[in-house]
Structure 1
Amino acid sequence: MTRLAQVLVVMDMQEGYSDCYEFDELVEKINDRISEYREEGHPIIFIQNVDKGTPEGSKEWKIAKKLDYQSGDMTVQKHHLNAFYRTELNDLLSDNDLEQLEICGVETEYCCNATITMAHGLGYQVEMIPGMTTTEDNEQMTAQETIDFYENIWGNHFLRFI
């Protein structure tokens, strides 16, 4: 088993992002991590993006069907790329004495990046398994090139790969 942080933060793994690069494969990998966290009694926080593409209550807003989400899991609704911005995430982590975060999910260059850099700036110890985010191709890079690019930045400055 790979080392566990105090909490697993699952970013925006919602139906509206199911067209992202290797989404189903990422769901499987995240489910494996969720299982390890549950076995050890560690909490899991699911972040849900709420915007025009994923309006609250819509099919697109819902947690991915195949993801191991359970009613007792903590959830945070966000209206910004950064999961800490005007949400209860920081209070939730502080109130539960959680200082080590493992982050995974969607979209590498937007929500994952904003949340990882903010978590680092707030003093959290951020960890990640390589290849645990996804995104879509854009005009400049393929999804895989984007993932590689951001992992290089994160690993050298903002998080520790496990």
Structure 2
Amino acid sequence: MTTLAARPRTALLVIDVQKGVVAEAHQRDAVVANIAALVDRAREEGVPVVWVQHSDDDLVKGSEAWEYAPELIRRDTEALIHKNFGDSFEETELEDVLAAAEAGHLVVTGASTDACIRSTIHGAFVRGYDVTLVGDAHTTDDNSKWGAPPPDQVIAHTNLYWQYHSAPGRTAAVADTKDVTFE
């Protein structure tokens, strides 16, 4: 029920699952495995998979840390969005890629929950997309030394508030990997 006209399709977003981003992430292996399962399922069902890759002064483009986790292999036919801001839409071609795919519903996975994931799900929602956050396919580092809650609480809180997020003509949802549908 997206507010975007003529956008009946769903796309899977894989955000920043890069070596340097997820090296110390909470339940890294389980989250990456869930994302890999979703990528496989999306491909089988003909759903566009859109890869997002962050770079900045601490995550230098072309460095080993900038590369995607080795368990996740992007196909040449799948879109790759390079970004420099938390919100995957800011100063990128993501909107154009999604428009060309006729995608009005986004299934969101990746890292980091309390930064790029939150920024992107909110950015998508205010732009008119329906957004499903995959509750067991996003992760973050332990930032508690800077006053943040432990990562399991950050993830749980994000899942909690996103399932109750609402706005006219759009839906927000949280689903576990096994329950995701790409309809």
- Do 2:32 and 2:137's aligned partners in 1 also have CA atoms closer than 8 Å? no
How far 1:76 moved relative to its partner?
A: 0.1
Match of 2:116 among 84, 100, 111: 111
Counterpart code for 1:70 = R
Equivalent in the alignment of 1:146: 154
- Do 1:129 and 1:161's aligned partners in 2 also have CA atoms closer than 8 Å? yes
> What TM-score does the superposition give when structure 1 sets the normalisation length?
0.93
Structure 2 SS opposite 1:128 = strand
| Higher strand proportion | 2
Match of 1:157 among 153, 165, 181: 165
- Do 2:48 and 2:101's aligned partners in 1 also have CA atoms closer than 8 Å? no
How far 1:94 moved relative to its partner?
A: 1.3
Q: Deviations over 1:51-87 (max 9, x none)?
A: 1221111101111111132222210000000100010
Give the number of the structure whose alpha-carbon radius of gyration is greater. Answer: 2
Equivalent in the alignment of 2:77: 72
How far 1:30 moved relative to its partner?
A: 0.6
Cα distance in 2 between the residues matched to 1:19 and 1:70: 26
Cα distance in 2 between the residues matched to 1:96 and 1:131: 26
Q: How large is the RMSD of aligned CA atoms in angstroms?
A: 1.3
- Do 1:48 and 1:78's aligned partners in 2 also have CA atoms closer than 8 Å? yes
Flag structure 2 segments of 5+ consecutive residues without an equivalent. Answer: 1-8, 167-171, 176-183
Structure 1 segments, 4+ long, off by >3 Å, are none
Equivalent in the alignment of 1:130: 135
Equivalent in the alignment of 1:57: 62
Percent of counterpart pairs with the same letter?
Answer: 28
Matched, 1:7 2:8: no
